[in-house]
A = this chain, B = another copy of it.
């Protein structure tokens, strides 16, 4: 483990030691000293058996721990709790966190949880639940502190002192609304405490900020937070009425998941995949992915099958053909990775796609020259046959150019059909690069060599 991993790993290691040695009181002691997020991280790092034991030792913080867990791990633990425990854990969670949690729970438990809430909390929860999880509505919190524009900062300060502990912890700004709750502006606490007492809110509030529509997708909300360096932002409905506010801690999760989704998706895994999921669960999920890829592999083999006669005459072809296919796959993946990120960051439009295509085609051409020559020479020397050298060089050039074009186009086309390029892109790309690779190499051989 390099330095960056020391801290977490030593803690993880300590916990595992304690669990092994059965000194549970030590584990409990450690847990009390940890933040919910840290406990969640530990639980995710533990194999199922140890995880269950440790979860049994998590006491009062259990609700917040659940909120911090990846979905799969959450399901695993919740499936072993009875409704009453879950309801108890769900108490005194923020509505937005509770909403996330509830969407993972079995319906029977959901009702139990709802029943256990007081009227106001239930109302707030139902508000958040009424919006899709992956929109601003699903991210927002409804416990906002609002003020009127006409009052003075002095009045606001007195109001705040009255509220006392009822002011949400993460409050960094107060939201200014008029009588019918329409959003007017924000009053950052920094301005509140630095401004003149006699000034009115309207004089010092900041209005340059555009509130977030409740239906905005969460990835766009995240982009907005990143580009405006926001800490929290108000959420409004179509009539400009204030519904709640989104805080950065929830946005950070969205950004983390976006990154993991692209990375895990390439291997056909979900970003929520539990490293220690039960064998059968994992096997079932993986099987599907392997099956999909088997189809593409068989397709490629079928292409080779068409040239059995050629290969029989010149076995060297069988030796060299994987090189052509593999290099195409590698080159295409580089282009596709750029395109997928471009799409995710909304930086790839139909217009600049043309530019990307031209550029990637040129890059592919330059590299095909370099490596086709290299491979051609190697093949010539290896099999002491110039024609084989020319053959593989030509085939590789063709495949690298195809790879560049399909690497750029496939993600865009998939995205157009609302198929996730991060998940499906690789399968389509390798199908193209394998088939074109084998077809070009064996086809040219059949025409010119045999």
Contact = CB atoms under 8 A, between A and B. Distances in A.
Interface string A318-360: 1111110111001101101110111101111101100110010
A319 B308 contact: yes
Interface string A39-69: 0110011110000000000000000000010
A294 B375 contact: yes
A227 B68 contact: yes
Nearest to A231: B231
Contacts of A287: 366-367, 370-371
B366 A275 contact: no
A223 B255 CA distance: 13
B226 A37 contact: yes
Contacts of A269: 334, 337-338
A333 B341 CA distance: 20
A428 interface: no
Given A190-B169, A231-B231, A322-B304, A266 B337 contact: yes
A82 B265 CA distance: 43
Nearest to A12: B349
Contacts of A322: 297, 300-301, 304, 322, 325, 434
A416 B338 CA distance: 29
Contact of A167 (B190, B226, B296): B190
Contacts of A301: 319-320, 322-323
B363 A275 contact: no
Contacts of A37: 226-229
A1 B190 contact: no
Nearest to A370: B287
A279 B359 CA distance: 6
A219 B4 contact: yes
Interface string A359-378: 10011001100110011001
A41 B194 CA distance: 33
Given A171-B190, A349-B16, A283 B366 contact: yes
A128 to B, nearest CB: 18
Interface stretch (A113-121, A158-166, A235-243): A158-166
A362 B283 CA distance: 8
B248 A352 contact: no
Contacts of A298: 323, 378
Nearest to A374: B294
How many copies of this chain does the complex contain?
2
Interface residues of A, number: 143
Contacts of A345: 41, 44
Given A226-B252, A322-B322, A338 B300 contact: no
A315 interface: yes
B263 A38 contact: no
A207 interface: no
Contacts of A286: 331, 334, 363, 367
A109 interface: no
Contacts of A211: none
Contacts of A326: 293, 296-297, 300, 430, 434
Contacts of A275: 338, 341-342, 347-348, 356
Contacts of A91: none
Nearest to A283: B366
Contacts of A68: 227
7 smallest CB-CB distances across A and B, nearest first, come from: A259-B259, A37-B227, A8-B346, A318-B318, A229-B249, A45-B347, A267-B337
7 contacts: A193-B193, A252-B252, A264-B337, A268-B334, A286-B367, A287-B370, A311-B318
